[in-house]
Structure formats: C-alpha cells, structure tokens
Chains A and B, each alone.
Chain A
C-alpha cells in the first residue's frame, strides 16, 4: 500500500539543499527558486579559510604588504564563483569563469600596462608573468624566510591561492567532498610550517580552522548528505562520536611527535616543527644563524683546542655587501686561490704579530665554509680542495664540506691595543673599496643614529667605540624572539631600520648595525659570521710542538656574528656590539681608552691580560637579558598582591558552588507574591516549575542530564530507572516517591487546569539530593559540589550569548541581502 501510494506522486523538483527546505508550505513562485544563500555563504567560507590559512605566511614574507593583493585575488575569485553559482551556471562553466576571473585579476594587479584594457591578458602579459616567475624562482633559491615581498613572489602566491580557492570550491560544491578541501588549506600551511622557525603560528591556524569548519558546516547545512541517517545531528550519539574522534586526534598529535624523528619541542597548535634538514644547511649562514640560535638542542658540535690565550672566535665567512634586500656572502669565485696551506692577508700589518695554533675537529658540522680563527696563515690536514679569498680570508670548498674534517690552523693576528688603534688614523689603503661602499638606500634612521652616536668622537677608533657602546647600552636588549614577533627577522637594510627602532634583536642585528654605521662614518667594515668562544669540555688536546691545551666546544647555539672594522696598519679588528654574547676584546672596552694610553706600555701584560674569559659562562641564548634590575625593597605590596590573588583564586574556585547554592535557595524558598492570590484567574504558582528546574539541574549535576526533547514524565522515568537514584523499594524509596510527586506537580501546573497549591518542594528536593549524593561515587559528588555541570552549562551559555547575537544579526542581514538579490534577479531575463 505504501509503495503504491508513492508511485503516482509527482516528481519532486530537483532543487538542491535550501530550495527544497523552503518549498513546503510556501506557494511556488513563477520563477524557479534560486539556490538561496548557499553559494554566497560557501564562497565566503572558502575565502575566509584561504585568507585565514594565508595569515600563517606572515614571516615567510616580510611585513604585511603582500596581503592586500592576496585579499583582492581571493575575494574576486570567490565572488565570481558565488555569482556564477547563484545564477546556476553549469559547474564546469563556473570553474572556467573563476579561472578567467583569476587571470583577469592577476593581470590587473601585476601586469596592468602589458594587458589589454588593464585586465585582459595579452602576449605581453605572459612575458611579464614569465619575468615575475623568474624573479620568484630567484627569490626562492637565493633567499630565505622572511623574504621581502617582491612582485614575483607575491604574484606566485596570489596565483597559487587563487587556484586553491577554485580547487576547494570544486571539491566542496560540485564534487560534494567538503572534508577533502582541508587538504588545500593544509598545502598552504605546509609552507610556513617548514620554513618559519615558529611554525604556522596561532593566527594562521585559527583562521584556517575557522574557515574549514565554516566550509564543513555550510555544506552540512545547505546540502545535507543523503547517506546520513534520518533524525537530527543534535543527537547525543553524534556528539559523543565527535568528542571521541576529537579526543583521539588530540591524543595522536601528542603521541605521534614522540615516534617521529625530527620533531622537536613545541605546543599545540603551534606544532612541533618537522625540520628534516637539520639546522645548518647554510647556503647563507647569516640567515640560518637565527634558526641555529633558537634551536633548543645544539647540533653541529665543533671542538677545538688552541694555544692562544685570548678567547677564540671561529670565523666561517664574512659579509661585506650591504646592498640589496638580503645580504649574502660574496664568494668572489674569480679571485679565490687554491691551497689553504698558505694564506696571505693581502694587506700590510705593522707591529707585533701574535701567533697561535688551533686544532679544530668539525665533527658533524656541515658547511662549505671552514671555521677558523682569524687571521689564518695556513691550514693543514684538510681533505679535499679548499680555496681562500685574499680579501676576506674566508676558506671554502665547492666540492667538499667541513663534515668530519680535522685540521690545524696556524693563525697570526696583529696584536691590537687601544693605543695602537687610537693611533691608526691614516686613511685605509690596500683594501678593496667595496668595504667602504655605503649602500645606496641607506635608511635615514641608520645614518642619523650613527651621526648622533659618534658626534663627539674624533678618531675612527673613538667612533667605533661609541657605536659599540651605544649598542651595548641598556637601551638595547638581546632577544631571539623579538625580531620574529615584530616581523624583521633576517637581515638587510630594512631590517636594520626596524631593529634600530625596536632596539631588540640578536647578534645578526647588532653586528650589522655596527658594520653599517661604521661605514656610514667612513670606517671600512664587514660582518664576520662564525662561532663565539665556546665552553671547556674538560679534556685537553696535545698540539704538535706546543704542548697540551684545554679543549673547547661550540655548537649551533654558539653561532655568532660580529663586525670587523679595518684600521690601517692593524688590519681587520673585531668588535663585540652584541650585549651578553661573546667577549668584548680588551682594546674595545671603554676603560682601556681611559687608562691604556699611559699604562699599557708593557706588551707582555697585554698578552696575558684577558685571563680566561673563554671559560666564563656564556649566557644561554634565548634568555633575554633583564633590563636594569630594580630590587623591590618594600614587601607589603607583594604580600598584598599575593593575598588578593589567593582570595581571587579562592573566590574563583568557590564561585560555581556558591552560585549553585544561591540559585537553589532562590528556587526553593521563594514566597509567592502577595498581590496574586492563589486561585485568582491568570495566576500560576511558579513553585512546581522552579522545583522541577531544580530537579533537572540536580539530575544534570549527578550525571543524568535532561534533553530538551524529553517529556517531563519520560525524564522522570529515566531518572528513576538510572543508577543515580538507587533501586526502588530500598532505602531510596522516599526519593523515588519525591521525584514522582514533583513530576506530577509540575505536570499539573504546566499542563493541567487551575491546580491547587502544591505542597512545598524543598523537603522533597532535599530527599532526592540526599539519595543522589549517597549513590554517587566521590568524584561525581565532588564535581556536583564544586563544578556543578548545570551551572557550567549555564555559564557557557551566557558566554556564548554575544556570539549568538552576532550570528542572529548576520542571519538577518544575510536574509535581507538574499531578498535584495532575488529581487535583482527577478529583474534579469530568465536564464536556462
């Protein structure tokens, strides 16, 4: 019978989702109903998800300038999709239209001059695009995060994310696989996860997650899956299932990193970052330096022993070109000379030369640049072909790396004293002009700062000291995180300007600041990258012909950069502007200027003066040096604050219990208002209803929550049959009777005629409460007392009120816009 009755029925109109929902009840309009708000909401969700995921790219690209073109692209493509879907174009047509929109938007943003009418691509546009892609490729190959947002990389990003919008839309709408659209978002986030030291970041994660949930919710709402069972998604089973799934996923994220090598520390959702390449893959050591410093475990351990009494900086490479957006070592491949066993400085040095022998074991440290103390005269024991640059004395190999190299460096550095430095006033000669060239686009702040700081200094040496003193002053703080957080991690002139404004950074920033400011003041300078003096390992190494010397070790955490300034007659002299790192050389300390001119005549003393600074504990990187410490003397405020904090905490912990008790009292002890006489028409005694609410909350507290779709009788039956109330006929019989009578009172009051005044409910509630308490385990009892679930739900509900209000507002606005859109569509000629 059932089957036949359906046989003759008219075919349902094949309108999807929301249209079917609206059909029943309302008469059919002459024009076929549109797809409703679905395309708009879906396109909005997709745009939100993609833009949210793109938030995580901050840090891969510097600053926020790239975000505007991105918004334009993503919104334009989403809008095109929404319009085409709202007009019910074929799915393929909608996708093609969005591709056309993407091409148009990209042409408009990036190749306006080469395009027809500004947005129609021509052959010229393709040439321009080719150029942009080439530039992006160069950026990817040569630079490292954060890169400057040049047109090439922004173009590639906009194109990729625009394509992603189309892909997600195709997955979510025509292919009806909204869950799979998460893969696209994941693809966006993989980039920062592998490139940025701080991984995806909270904003990006939340943005992507919110967008993804919106996509899922949207498709669930408007295009429910026919494969799902009937009934509603609000059932307890569904909730339980999602909780279990979520819990499992969370547990997996906790456990999986332990099993996978390469994961380091980190907290959810910042995520343990997978770094499969280790920390020093150093094509550009300057850039990997920050990451090395931030790595919590030191990798690339190097041990060395030296005959030098002064702390030894191991120097890998120098940076002397301060032009361009990112500084990189200049290898000067044409000028390099083969054979590291004989290295010449290339400039004349006057005065005494201090020789030292250093034996280095590079261990697992892998780099094309050889760490060696300055200035190497010869390096013995190397495997492979190594070349050196006469201008910078950096030793490198294009064929092999430092891995597992053991070598002995004979170094010879001129003995530098403050006196000698202050006398070295002749103009530099014998070195390349490169070291003096001031970059063209030097930010004003650098020059101004340099001029201000060195205003009172006369000689080059005094200027250098003034700059160093300025950078080491309390104004500047050492921080590995501040540049990351403020978006100027890395190097380059713009970074330098940011650093001088924020006054917080690490060695890269300090050294480049000093180097650039020195050049601005006419002192030849360069940045040396390598390792600060390390720690004693406790072992000693015998050096041939020199005796036995203590062994030191350095690893990635000791990575360092420092400026070298050129003084005629003394050569390249290192300085130490970075606070709390490294060792300030004797000649560069302020006091030496004051006193050394007269007392520093004895050269032997100078040789032995720096007692054992290398053994001094090197501050652990990552710990910010505290600002000028001010010890609190008065303990009263602290005690007061502690007491207030404890009180607040107690109040906070007590508040659920307190508010629950107050609520119960109010419900049960309420006197009926005097003006309304019982029995008067229109008067309903609220007592049974309040008692019922209390009973429901009690049951919720003890683990039998009531469902909104449950009738009072059903709820009462469930409560009585649950274990929470104990067995009927036993000692809890009174409680059962109380529940039954409370239920019948409530039913009578709620659904019956004018009811007689019910007896007071407080006693019965007390009986029920007692029975519930006695039957509950202590954990449940504790929760019911201190964190009553009914109260918690109430609070959560109250907390959600603003969001719900916003949601209602948005829905109303959405409906208004939809009406407007329908009206507009009614004006257009009928399609299809």
Chain B
C-alpha cells in the first residue's frame, strides 16, 4: 500500500455488487486534478468487501446483450453527445467526432499534443457526457503495475485475501502522460486494453462495457519519458493531435472559461447502456466485399510502398474497418462507404506506419504518405479497364 500512497493515482471504484453500473464519484474528479498534493487514493466503496472475479457472461452487461438501437435514436444520442462536447471545447468538432467514433468502435484513443490544448479536457468531457464510470491515472515514473490493475490484500478480520481493484476498473480510463510511466506499468495498462480483463493472483476480473482508454502523451518533453514502442502504439485505434484552436474559438474560450471550469456544467446525456446499445448498433453495420477489398488494398499499398519501412498490420486494418463502421453509423448509414474508410484512415494508420529513412529525411510525414497512397489507389478494386465497368451493359 505504501507504494500506492506515493504516487498520483486517483481512481474511482465502481459498485458492482448489484450488477448495474452506478456513477458514483465522477463529479469530484476535476477537483482532484487541480491540486496534486492531495490524497491520492480515494477510499473505495469496495473497501472491506471481497471483490470477486466476475464470470464472463455475454457482453458483461446485466447478463444480457444490449439492444440494437434504431437509426433515429442512434442519431439523436450521437448528436447529444457531440453537442455536449462541443459546448465545452470550442472549435474541435473533428476531434470530438473521432473520439466518439473510437468509443463506439470499442477502440482506444491516443491524444498526442503539446500541453494545454485540451487533451485531458476532451477526454474528461467525453467521459462526463456519458453516464458511466471514469477514472484517471496520472502516469509517473514510479507508478507500479498494481496501481493500475489492482492488488489483493489480506484482510485481518475475514482472514482472507481481498482484491482491491485498480484504476483501470472503469468505463472510461484517462491515462495522462502515459509516456512518463515505466515500461512495466505501461504494459500492464496495455494488456488490459487488449484483453478487457485484469488477472491478479491467478484470478481474472472482467472489465466493464463500454471500456475505453484515452491516453495522452506529450511529444515535446522527452527527458525521463518512456516512449510507447510501435507494438504498443498499435493497440490504440486512433491517434489524434488536437492542434491549436482557431482565433474565434480561442477568443470565445477566453470569455466563457474565465470564471468557472466548463466541466462543471456538463451533465450526462446518455447512459452507459445507451452507449452499449450504440456499440452493438455499430457492430451491425454492413461491410460489403468491395469495402473489404479496398481496405486490404490500402494495407497492401502501405506494405508495398518504397517510402515506408513498416506498413499497416492486419490488426490495424481490422481497427480501420471498425472505425469506418462507427463513422458510417454516425453518418446515419447501415453500410460502409469508401469515404468512411478514407475519413478515418489517416487517424487510424498514421501512428502505426514507419517511414523509410529517405522519406523521413525528405520531409515526408506518415500523413502525407497515406494521403498519397489514398490519392492513387483505385476505389474499385478491379483493373481500371473501361470495358470491365460495363460488363452488365455489353
């Protein structure tokens, strides 16, 4: 426990005894972040109770599969979420939409930008608009894996080991400055991300649904950091840079955010079960063979490109297609268009590919190379023969 007390971990436990999600402490979060020399471990509502390993039952939500939402309700819910986020963060509609896309596609998001452009604010707003549990981990070099996953402690009175869940037990986990933690701790989190479960002392504990990690990292400060290796970057569905807001948005931000934190006014607009239903709606989106071929062609083009040393992995293509499905659903369609794939391709693939040294030195970026590939790749995956296109006609 002493190790835990020294580090900046703030986590909000969840009450799982009734089997339903209850948002308990989300409102106190912002307060914690403001002052760092504070109590770092919130007394858990679970304290004193045995946290038993959950059996994996279906989607893990109430024991039954979430209903599929119809198109209207889906559209309505997504509009509410985006509207709420856009009220807090000015001029970042694109980033907000991508964040929601990643949430619905059951992926994880990596926010990479300089300090102070609203990375954490975006993550927190997204978490706050959805009525679900949120925890935030401030990564530091001395953070231990058990701080993330949880630890079993011996209870003197009951004379048995009890599991105290770590910060990762939440629907939305915000990992701040993930590159500051040691590789060991990083990989503990990344394992949870991939497998949606935590294993401590031989017991596996299922994580809730929806589950999304929003990690931020700062590309400027390099000293004392442990940059995520390629394999771990690959686990994040998308990486976005926030970028600076434009002039008008910045002026408005200065006006509105003077007195109080904008987060205070944010209220949940959808429930976790709504989100789960949206997720299963996204899963129902139809992907035609043509789209699959197009996606694979993009992957092969990145692998064949002479300017890339490492192309897109099969996992990244899977995530690309999932993100495209979410985009299509957000656009109100039940099938994927090539446009959806193109829309998310840059965010999904850019952090996974590695440039050739020659290309890197000539000023190319992964984004520019992806754009070049997309601009030259035929959408219809057949030889561009004029006769082929009219096989029905002739």
Contacts and interface: CB of A to CB of B under 8 A. Distances in A.
B390 A690 contact: yes
Given A5-B230, A751-B291, A235 B306 contact: no
Interface in B348-394: 354-360, 362, 364, 368-369, 371-372, 374-380, 384-387, 389-390, 392-394
B334 A24 contact: no
Interface in B293-328: 303-304, 306-311
B219 interface: yes
B227 A750 contact: no
Given A689-B392, A753-B334, A709 B304 contact: no
Interface string A641-672: 00000000000000000000001001100100
Contact of B306 (A5, A21, A686, A752): A21
Contacts of B309: 9, 12, 24
Given A230-B359, A793-B386, A794-B387, A235 B335 contact: no
Interface in A208-235: 224, 226-227, 230-232, 234-235
A234 B389 CA distance: 21
A675 interface: no
A591 interface: no
Nearest to A713: B339
Given A750-B288, A751-B288, A230 B368 contact: yes
B207 interface: no
Contacts of A663: 390, 393
A693 interface: yes
Contacts of B112: 1
A710 B376 contact: no
B356 A6 contact: no
A624 interface: no
A817 interface: no
Contacts of A1: 112, 179, 217-219, 227-228
B362 A227 contact: yes
A708 interface: yes
Per DSSP, chain B at the interface is mixed
B200 interface: no
Query: Interface extent on B, as a size class?
Result: 35 or more
A232 B372 contact: yes
B23 interface: no
Contacts, number: 128
A667 B393 contact: yes
Contact of B394 (A11, A226, A666): A666
Contacts of B342: 711
A385 interface: no
A5 B304 CA distance: 21
Contact of A230 (B179, B372, B377): B372
Contacts of A798: 387
A472 interface: no
Contact of A709 (B303, B311, B358, B377): B377
A741 to B, nearest CB: 15
Contacts of A235: 375-376
A793 B389 CA distance: 13
A456 interface: no
A748 interface: yes
Contacts of B362: 226-227, 230
Interface in A702-743: 708-714
A331 interface: no
B268 to A, nearest CB: 33
A9 B308 CA distance: 13
A224 B227 CA distance: 33
Nearest to A795: B386
A393 B229 CA distance: 100
A525 to B, nearest CB: 69
Interface string A1-22: 1101110010110000000110
A626 interface: no
B222 interface: yes
B288 A4 contact: no
20 contacts: A2-B219, A5-B233, A12-B356, A12-B357, A20-B306, A24-B311, A224-B306, A227-B362, A663-B390, A667-B390, A689-B392, A693-B390, A708-B379, A708-B384, A709-B378, A709-B379, A711-B339, A751-B291, A751-B338, A797-B386
Interface of A: 1-2, 4-6, 9, 11-12, 20-21, 24-25, 224, 226-227, 230-232, 234-235, 663, 666-667, 670, 686, 689-690, 693, 708-714, 747-748, 750-753, 790, 793-794, 797-798
Given A670-B393, A752-B334, A753-B286, 10 more contacts: A12-B356, A25-B303, A25-B311, A230-B368, A235-B375, A690-B392, A708-B379, A711-B339, A712-B337, A712-B379
